[in-house]
Amino acid sequence: MNRTELSIIIVSYNVRELLIRCIESVIKNIGTDILIEIIVVDNCSVDGSSQAVRQRFSEVKIIENNFNAGFPAANNQGFAVATGDYILMLNPDTEIIDNSIQKLLAFYKTIDGAGIVGPKLLNPDMSRQNVVWRFPKVRYIIAEIWYLNFLIPRKYYKEKDFNTSFEVDSMSGATLIFSKNVLKKLDGLDEKLFWIEDVDLCFRAKKAGLHNYYYHEAAIIHHIGQSAKKNYNLSIYFQTVNKINFYKVHGSLIAVILLWVISFVNVILKLFVFLVLSPFRQLYFYKTKAYFYTLKRFLTFK
């Protein structure tokens, strides 16, 4: 029996149609020169995702959770049963084009001391998404909270030509490839760092002396943020606290306290703004509820 070369892990939550399209794109574009397995970890979807996958793709392995375990924990479940020499983390809201999986894997194998590699991610209109970042710094986080991203172009590698490949600090977890040996060395994703687990994984890879790369010749369409729209409460809460949690693990107590205070003020202000706007649009009502949820949890954040 031939050995599985690549395990593709897809964690899904209530995005049935996107998940089906994602799997179809993998099968259509993978070719016959790579022996793969596809493992779907369903985080207690209620939209019939698992049933739809079983009906259409008998070869796909499915792990069904009876609760939403979160993205990093669910990926770790997939990693635990993966048999491939290489692992591809793939969001269900992605579409593979132009044999990009083969390209990504081939490039990975050329890197001495490879850690983690990510592709170019594209919006549905084929414009490029910002998917590579330098590791979090307090000034970066403060600028992002107040929508002042233009003040921190260095964080987003604005000086680089994205039509070339280059070494980076961290990348979006929407699509990442790494070897089984690297996975063992890093001991999987940190389940406490939900929503920033990709940056943390890349940080630990760099700390271990490995090299992370952005690879421009592999391009994948990413319908960004579709799962997040299914639960604004959790998405906004974790977006608010994730960088504080990162500094709790990798930074200083002073930075944690500073970021907590700044983030708390930000939550209060956004709650007020969306409360005022909520009568005019349903989305603002949902975000008002989400920021109220975040405020309550923020007051007991440890």
Tell me, what CATH number does 177's domain have?
A: 3.90.550.10
Could you count the other beta carbons within 10 Å of the beta carbon of residue 98? 12
Residues 212 and 237 in one domain: no
CA distance linking residue 117 with residue 104, whole number of Å: 8
Tell me, what's the pLDDT at 230? Answer: 61
Residues 148 and 196 in one domain: yes
Tell whether 1 is covered by a domain: no
Q: Tens of pLDDT along the chain (302 residues)?
A: 578 999 999 999 999 999 999 999 999 999 788 999 999 999 999 999 999 999 999 999 999 999 999 999 999 999 999 999 999 999 999 999 999 999 999 999 999 999 999 999 999 999 999 999 999 999 999 999 888 999 999 999 999 999 999 999 999 999 999 999 999 999 999 999 988 999 999 999 999 999 999 999 999 999 986 656 667 888 899 889 999 999 999 999 999 999 999 999 999 999 999 999 999 999 999 999 999 999 998 888 76
Residues 38 and 165 in one domain: yes
Residues 32 and 124 in one domain: yes
Residues 199 and 258 in one domain: no
Tell me, what's the pLDDT at 288? Answer: 95
Tell me, what's the pLDDT at 228? Answer: 60
Tell me, what's the pLDDT at 144? Answer: 92
Domain boundary pick from 165, 198, 222:
222
Tell me, what's the pLDDT at 254? Answer: 94
Domain boundary pick from 222, 243, 272:
222
Residues 174 and 32 in one domain: yes
Q: Residue 196 corresponds to which tokens in the numbers above? A: 């920033």
Tell whether 76 is covered by a domain: yes
Pairing label, strands 211-222, 114-122: parallel
Residues 142 and 285 in one domain: no
Tell me, what's the pLDDT at 279? Answer: 95
Number of domains in the chain: 2
**Range of 57's domain?**
6-222
Residues 14 and 123 in one domain: yes
| 222, 124 contact by CB (below 8 A) | no
Residues 18 and 125 in one domain: yes
Tell whether 277 is covered by a domain: yes
CA distance linking residue 259 with residue 145, whole number of Å: 10
Tell whether 186 is covered by a domain: yes
Domain boundary pick from 179, 202, 222:
222
CA distance linking residue 168 with residue 81, whole number of Å: 29
> What distance separates the 2 farthest-apart alpha carbons in the chain?
63
Q: Smallest Cα–Cα separation from 6: which of 214, 177, 181?
A: 177
Tell me, what's the pLDDT at 226? Answer: 63
Tell me, what's the pLDDT at 300? Answer: 81
Q: Map tokens 């490949």 to a residue.
A: 165
Residues 23 and 103 in one domain: yes
Report yes or no on whether pTM surpasses 0.85: yes
Tell me, what's the pLDDT at 124? Answer: 95
Tell me how many degrees the CA angle 261-267-272 measures, rounded to the nearest 5: 130
Q: Residue 63 corresponds to which tokens in the numbers above? A: 């792990």
